[in-house]
Chain A
Amino acid sequence: MGNVKLSSMGKRVRKIDGVELVTGRAKFAGDMKFPGMLYGYARRAGVPAGIIKKRDVRTALKIPEVAMVLLAEDIPGPNIIGILPPFDQPLLAAEEIRYEGESIALVVAKTKTAAKEGALAIEVEIDPLEPILEPDEALKKGARKIHPAGNITYSKKLIKGDIDKGFKEAELVVENTYHTSFQEHAYLEPEAVCAVPCGDGRVTVYASCQSPFHLRGHIAANLSVPASRVRVVQAYTGGSFGGKDDVAAEIGSLAAVASVKLGLPVMIAHEREESIKGSNLRHASRIHYKTGARRDGTIVACKIEIILDGGAYSSESPFVTMKSLIHAAGPYRIPNILVECTSVYTNKTYCGAFRGFGVPQVTFASESQMDELASRLKMDPLKLRRKNALKPGDATATGQVFERSVGLLQTIDKIEERRKSSDLPRDREDDRWLYGRGFSCMLQGISNGAEGIDVVGASVQVSQDGSVLLGVGLTDMGQGSRTVFAQVAAEVLGVTVDRVTVRQVDTDSVHDSGPTVASRSTTVGGMAVFKAAAEVKKSLQKMASLMFKAGEEQVSFKNNFASLKQDDSARIPLREVAAAAYWSGFPLMNLAFSRAPDADFDHETHQGDIYIAYNFGTHMMDIRIDRFTGRVQVLQHIASHDLGRVINLTGVEGQVEGGSLIGFGFAHMEKIESEGGSITNANFADYAVPTVKDRIPTETICVEDYNPTGAFGAKGIGEPPVAGAASAFANAVAAATGVRFTKLPITKEDILKAGGKHGRYSH
C-alpha cells in the first residue's frame, strides 16, 4: 500500500464541497426552513449558583405567538446531557443552578423574537448560593459540594519509573508554576439545530455538530424512544474545534422534544452570547512543573501537578485530564515521570473539548521549562531538545514504544536549517524594538486511544456510471476531511476526485463511528475508506479481467479507466466496467470498518500502549516587541510537523495556519473575563478573536515519516499546531524581553507592565 503510484496524493486539491460554500448555497442548520417551523429560545439562570425556588410560565404563555414552554418535568427521558459518565448535566435545570448559562426553560414560538420575549417573561426565583469560582476554593476541606459526589471531576496519575530516584540523579532542578486561561472556540457559526417530526414516528434533527451519533443517543434518551427512531443529519457545520458536542446534545434534545410534542418543526439557533456562555470552553489550568536534569542536559525526572478548572459540569473533563497527563512531559525520553492531574468543578461555564484537548496547556508549561533549563545549563535550546527528543524505539511517557513514524528529530532538523538560513535581525535592535526567537517541540496523540473504542465505518458505492458515493461516520466541520476521504477512495479506485461524492453524515446510513475528535479522521477514517474502496475494487478488477480476458493482476485503474498493466493503450472506461459488473451481479458497495488496536493500558498509572501514532512537531517563531506599547509583531513562524504522509497539501497548510492562529490567540490575545461568576466579555468586541490584522506568517514544513496505521501512511494534523505555536510564542517573548512569563495569555499589556515603569526592557 505504501508503494502504489499516487495521483492526487500529496498535491493541492480543491475542497470537494467548496463550490457550495463560495456560492452561499450550502445549507447550514440555521438556514433551513420547513412549513410551520417554530423557534425555541432558552431561559437561562443568569446567576452562577443557587437553588431554584420558582418557575412561573404563565406570563410567557400569554404571549400570542408562544406555542409552548418546556420545563424539566416535561422531558420524557432522564433530562440529562453530557458526553461521559458521570452524566452530571441536566438538560433543563429544576433544582440547583451551577453556572450562569444553565437553561431552565425552553420557550417555543412562531418567531424568534416572541420566543425570546417569552423566555424573559418567565418568572424565575433563585435563592443564590455563594459561587465557588476558583479550584482552590472548591478543593478546600468543607467546601460546599457543587455535585453530590464532591468537587473533583476526575483525578488521575501517570507513574513512570521511580521519581525519587530520578531526582536523586538530577544535578539541576528547574521548578515553576504556570497558568493558562479559559479559551472560547469562537467558531463563526453559533450552534444551531432544526428538529423535524417525520410523521412515521421518527424525528429528524439537522444539526451543526461534531458527533452526530452522540447527539442521536442523547436525543433518543431524552425523548425516551429507541435510538432507531431518531435520525441525525449533520448540516454544513461552521467550525467546531471540539465545541459542538455537549451543546449540540442540549439544543438537539430540546428541539426534538418540543417538535415531537407539537408535531411541528422546531429550530434553535444560538446567539453569540449564548454560544460563549452556554457552551464549553477550553479548561483553564495551573501547572506546577519540576524538571530534573544532568549537567549534560539529559533530563532524568519530571514531576508535574496539574489542576484543571472544568467549570460546572464534567463534559469531556475526564478525557482532557488523561490527555494532559500523557502529554505533560513533552516529546522527550524521560525515564522517571510522575504527573498528577485533577479536574475540578467550579460555578463557571463548563469546559470540555477544544482543539488540542489539554495539550496546548501542558505544552506551554513543558516548553517553557525546556527553555528555562537550557538557559540554566547555558545550552542552546534546540540542542537541549534534540538531546532528549524521542526517537524510534524509545519509550514515551506511557512507556509505549514506536518503531516507526517518530519524526521528531527530522522536524528539529528542518527548523535547524531554517534557523541557520535566517538570522533574527537582532542587530537592528534599537530604542524601540526588541527581537526574540522562540522554539517549541510537541507531540499529540492520534486516535481515541484508551479513551474508548476507536472504530470508524465507511461505505463505498460505485454506480453504473463509474462515479463513487462515499459515506463516512465522521464529520467535516470545515477541516476538509471529506476531501481527504474522497482522495483516498479516488486513489484506490483509480478515479479522479471529481467523480467522488462524500455525503454529510446521516446516522441512518453510516455506521456509528464515535466522535470526530483526536485528529483521527485522516488516520482512522481514511483507513476505513481505504478498506471499503479496496473491496469494491475487487469486483471491478474481476469484471475488467473478464472483459480484457486477462488475469486480474494484469488490470489496473487510473483516470477513470481500467487498463492493462503491460499495455496502457488497452483501456476500458470505468463506467463500462462498472455497468458490466452491475449486470453480472458483482457487488459494487461495501461497508468497511477501521478499528484502531485496543489500547493496552493501565488506568491507574497511565502506562501502556495508548495511541496508534503521534504527530510530532517543532516550531520556531521570530517576533519583535515595541518597548513602548508592548505590541508584538510576528516576523516569521515556521511549523514543522511529522504527519506521516501528506494527502492534501492545501488542506494541511490550512490546518497548520488556522490551528497556529488559534494557538497564537490562546497565547497572546484571548481571555475570558468574568466577574462574580458572570462572563463579562461574551461578544466579539470584547473577546479578542484574532482578525486579519493579527494574523501570523505561518509557513508549513511537512515531514513525512510513514505511519503504518494510517491510510497511505498519514497521521492527523488538526490539533497539533495549536500547542506548537502557543509555546513558541511564549518562548519568543521570553527571548525578547528576558522575562519568563508563566501565564497565558501574555498580552500586550502584560508585556508592557513587566518592562518597568518606563516601558523599557534592559538586558
Chain B
Amino acid sequence: MHLEFICNGKKVSVDVPADMRALDLIRDVMGLTGTKEGCARGECGACTIIVNGKAVNSCLMYAVKLKGKEVFTIEGLSEESGKLHPLQEAFLEEGAVQCGFCTPGMIMSAKALLDRNPRPNEEEIEEAISGNICRCTGYAKIVKAVTRAGLGNNHG
C-alpha cells in the first residue's frame, strides 16, 4: 500500500505491506533506529513516537495509519546543527540517562506533554510517562529532567 506522510519535517513516500507495524516502517524501512522495541505489546513505551501531537506506541500501530499524518521520532528532535532540544539537554544535565534504551521513548512522551502543557506539574509528568518503563534510573532524575525542561519554557 502506498502512503505519504511527514516525518521529522520531511515528506515521506513509501509502499508498505498492509500488516506492517509503524515501528518496522520507521526502524527497518526508514532506518530511524532511535525508536526502540522493548516488548511489542504496548507495555514498555520504548517505541513511543509522536503522531499528530500525540505520543503513541508505534509497536501497536499499523504503518498505513501514518498516512497523511505528521510524525516525530527522536531523530527529529535535535536541530541539524546538532543543537539539542531542551529535553535532551535536561536529560543529560540531570543524569536521567543510564543505559539509554528507554530514553528516546521517554523523551518523546515528555515532548508530547510539553508541547500541549509547557510547564507541567509532577503529577502531569507522571501521567505522561507512566507507560514508559525505565529499569535503570529509578525515575526520579527523569521526572526532574522533564520538570527542568518545562521550567525553561517561558511561555507557560
Contact = CB atoms under 8 A, between A and B. Distances in A.
Contact of B100 (A26, A30, A650): A26
Contacts of B41: 272, 683-685
Given A19-B92, A24-B104, A478-B99, A691 B133 contact: yes
Given A189-B101, A693-B130, A695-B139, A28 B36 contact: yes
B34 to A, nearest CB: 2
Nearest to B44: A684
Nearest to B126: A692
A17 B143 CA distance: 21
Interface in B8-52: 27, 31-41, 43-44, 46
A237 interface: yes
Interface residues of A, number: 57
B141 A23 contact: no
B139 A692 contact: yes
A252 B46 CA distance: 24
Nearest to B38: A188
A190 interface: yes
A696 interface: yes
B129 interface: yes
Given A14-B92, A22-B100, A23-B75, A695 B43 contact: no
Contact of A18 (B34, B39, B77, B97): B97
A24 B74 contact: yes
B143 A24 contact: no
Nearest to B46: A188
A243 B75 CA distance: 29
Contacts of B99: 21, 187-189, 236-239, 477-478
A17 B103 CA distance: 13
B100 A697 contact: no
A753 interface: no
A683 B107 CA distance: 23
Contacts of A185: 135
A24 B73 contact: yes
Nearest to B138: A657
Given A23-B75, A23-B77, A650 B34 contact: no
Most buried by B among A17, A185, A238, A683: A238
Contacts of A478: 98-101, 136
A335 interface: no
Interface stretch (A74-82, A93-101, A658-666): A658-666
A695 B133 CA distance: 11
Contacts of B115: none
Contact of B102 (A188, A272, A696): A188
Q: Which of B33, B41, B131 lies at the interface centre, i.e. has the most chain A CB atoms within 10 A of its CB?
A: B33
Contact of A14 (B73, B93, B133): B93
A683 B43 contact: yes
Interface in A187-211: 187-190
Contacts of A684: 39, 41, 43-44, 133
A187 B135 contact: yes
Contacts of B88: 19, 22-23
A724 interface: no
B20 to A, nearest CB: 10
Given A12-B95, A18-B92, A653 B141 contact: yes
A376 interface: no
Contacts of A241: 135
A33 interface: yes
A272 B93 CA distance: 31
A499 interface: no
Nearest to B132: A692
Interface string A652-677: 01100111111000000000000000
A295 interface: no
A479 interface: yes
A651 interface: yes
Given A661-B139, A692-B126, A272 B92 contact: no
A692 B35 CA distance: 20
Nearest to B123: A693
B121 interface: no
A698 B140 contact: yes
Interface in B61-91: 73-75, 77-78, 84, 88, 91
Nearest to B87: A22
Nearest to A483: B95
Contacts of B139: 657, 661, 690-692, 695
Interface in A45-68: none
Contacts of B33: 24, 27-28, 31
B138 A683 contact: no
B98 A236 contact: no
Interface centre among B31, B78, B143 (most CB of A within 10 A): B78
A186 interface: yes
A538 interface: no
A25 interface: yes
Contacts of B104: 22, 24
B99 to A, nearest CB: 3
B142 interface: yes
B7 interface: no
Nearest to A480: B98
A689 B137 CA distance: 13
Nearest to A656: B138
A718 to B, nearest CB: 11
A662 B98 CA distance: 14
A743 interface: no
B17 to A, nearest CB: 10
B134 interface: yes
A171 interface: no
Given A15-B95, A24-B74, A478-B98, A30 B37 contact: yes
A395 B29 CA distance: 62
B107 A22 contact: yes
Contacts of B78: 23
Given A31-B33, A188-B134, A696-B138, A239 B101 contact: yes
A162 interface: no
A17 B91 CA distance: 12
A271 interface: yes
B143 A692 contact: yes
Contacts of A189: 36, 38, 99, 101
B34 A23 contact: yes
A89 to B, nearest CB: 25
Contacts of A31: 27, 33
A477 B33 CA distance: 19
B132 to A, nearest CB: 7
Contacts of A28: 33, 36, 101
Contacts of A659: 138
Interface string A323-341: 0000000000000000000
Contacts of B131: 691
Contacts of B38: 188-190, 272
Contacts of B130: 691-693
A654 B75 contact: no
Nearest to A694: B139
Central interface residue in B35, B36, B43, B98, by most chain A CB within 10 Å: B98
8 contacts: A14-B93, A187-B101, A189-B38, A238-B99, A239-B136, A661-B138, A683-B39, A698-B140
Given A479-B98, A658-B98, A662-B135, 19 more contacts: A15-B92, A15-B95, A19-B84, A20-B100, A22-B100, A24-B32, A24-B103, A25-B75, A187-B135, A188-B44, A189-B101, A238-B36, A239-B98, A239-B99, A272-B38, A272-B39, A654-B138, A683-B43, A692-B142
6 nearest A-B pairs in the assembled complex, by CB-CB distance:
A24-B34, A478-B99, A21-B100, A238-B101, A657-B138, A31-B33
Interface of A: 12, 14-15, 17-28, 30-31, 33, 185-190, 236-239, 241, 271-272, 477-480, 650-651, 653-654, 657-662, 683-685, 689-693, 695-698
